[in-house]
Amino acid sequence: MSEQLMNILFWVLVVPGTVVLGLVASWIVRKVSALVQWRVGPPLLQPAYDVMKLMGKEILVPQEAQRIVFLAAPLVGLVGVLLLSIMLWRITLSQTAFMGDIIVAIYLMVLPSLALILGSSGSGSPHAAVGTGREMKLVMAYELPLILAFVVVIIKAAGSVGPGGQLSLAAIAQQTPALSLSGMLAFLAALLCVQAKLGFVPFDIAEAETELGSGVLMEYSGALLAVWKLMQAVMLVALPLFLGMVFLGGFHATLPAPGHVPFFAAALLVLAGARLLANRSKLMDVLSLLVFIGLCIWVGLGKYVLIVVLLILIKNTNPRVRIDQAMRFFWVYCGGALAAAVVLASIGYWWDIRWL
């Protein structure tokens, strides 16, 4: 296929592809949570049904809301994560990168939380206001360890590329910092920060359904809520991809060779058949999940699956923490571990010890 055709295909497919992958990922989150709790769980298309239903519902805007902020915030958040995921796909698939793109990515990663804070504070509801306060504190808590974790990676990368080159994601994705001591520490801390960024359970303090009535999203209804749900779904694609590129050595797009196509088609057929029969037995459900994970590993997304599964397991085995516990956790424990990791990485760089 010619270069130009690939380019056109990329730009046509990237946004719908990311959204579809995000919806599938959010189904996996719900399904695996259900299997962990020994339930059956929702069908494959459930996230799509939810979004379609919300699109058809009435949009209520509270009387005291700042209309423009309230209406624009979900779109800003969605555009932010879509931009981030386009950047990551572009770097993964065609190695096009520019100097300092990791800094752009860090900024784009803040956009969803920022949009959430703006939208909920614009909605003029006391519950949302409490949620906004918590979200702000949470952002302040996890941004510092997250950036420190990236600093560790940048120090690790400095050994192998030219001056300035360590700020480019394509260069960082060439190596695997998680195989060293400081890199492993940074990866684990960044994983927990991403858990908080996604609003997953130990850190779902801002959305706290039982006490705040879904907190930051409380006043949103209809299509606006659907945009928030889409944003959360796309974040489920973009953030694990980013973690995989920074810490685990990136995704090398190994699309199946022509000889593999029959196997690939057979695997897809098994997946579709298992999904069709899934209502009859749990075994078919588990089978289809396994086939799906196998397909992901086949096209080079195995690291993505690993990160998502880690996130889901942390989500399902922990109760919600209070905001002060979360701040102490991120600043004292994660911050301390990462300060140690930065020192280790610097020592390793100075005396050229790779495993530090």
Nearest approach, Cβ of residue 304 and another protein (Å): 25
Task: Judge contact between 153 and 246, C-beta under 8 A.
Answer: yes
Pick between residue 97 and residue 216 the one whose CB is nearest to another protein: 216
Q: Which is nearer to another protein, 17 or 42 (CB)?
A: 42
Tell me how far apart the alpha carbons of residues 339 and 91 are, in angstroms, rounded to a whole number: 29
C-alpha–C-alpha distance, residues 204 and 68, integer Å: 26
Residue whose entry in the numeric block shows the structure tokens 């004292």: 332
Residue 188 · residue 149 · CB < 8 Å: no
**Residue 327 beta carbon to another protein: minimum distance, rounded to whole angstroms:** 24
List residues near another protein by CB under 8 A.
Answer: 30, 34, 37-43, 45-46, 49-50, 52-53, 55-60, 127, 209-210, 212-214, 217-222, 225
Smallest separation (angstroms) from another protein to the CB of 44: 12
Handedness of CA 160, 166, 170, 173 (dihedral sign): positive
Which residues in 27-55 are b (16+ Cβ under 10 Å) and which e? bbbbbbbebeeeeebbbbeebbebbeebe
Contact criterion met (CB below 8 Å) for 211 and 138: no
Specify the residue, 128 or 356, whose C-beta has the smaller distance to another protein: 128
Q: Which is nearer to another protein, 101 or 219 (CB)?
A: 219
Q: Which is nearer to another protein, 78 or 217 (CB)?
A: 217
Per-residue burial over 243-276, b = 16 or more CB atoms within 10 Å of its CB, e = otherwise: bbbbbbbbbeeeeeeeeeeeeeeebeebbeebbe
Count of CB atoms situated within 10 Å of the CB of 66: 17
Question: Which CB, 52 or 265, lies closer to another protein?
Answer: 52
CB of 178 to another protein, least distance (A): 35
10's CB contacts (< 8 A; 6+ apart) are 89, 90, 93, 94
Paired tokens of 109: 């990663």
Please identify, using beta-carbon distances, which residue of 66 and 176 lies nearer to another protein: 66
Cite the DSSP H helix spans in 248-328: 261-277, 282-298, 302-316, 323-328
Q: Where are the beta strands (DSSP E) in the chain?
A: none
Which residue, 30 or 137, is less far from another protein as judged by CB?
30
Neighbours of 63 (CB within 10 A): 6
Min. distance of Cβ 84 from another protein in angstroms? 26
| 38 Rama class: left (phi>0) / alpha (psi -120 to 50) / beta | left
CB of 10 to another protein, least distance (A): 30
Minimum CB separation of residue 217 from another protein in Å reads 7
CB of residue 73 to another protein, shortest distance in Å: 15
Considering the complex, state which of residue 36 and residue 295 has its C-beta at the smaller distance from another protein: 36
Least Å distance, CB 26 to another protein, is 13
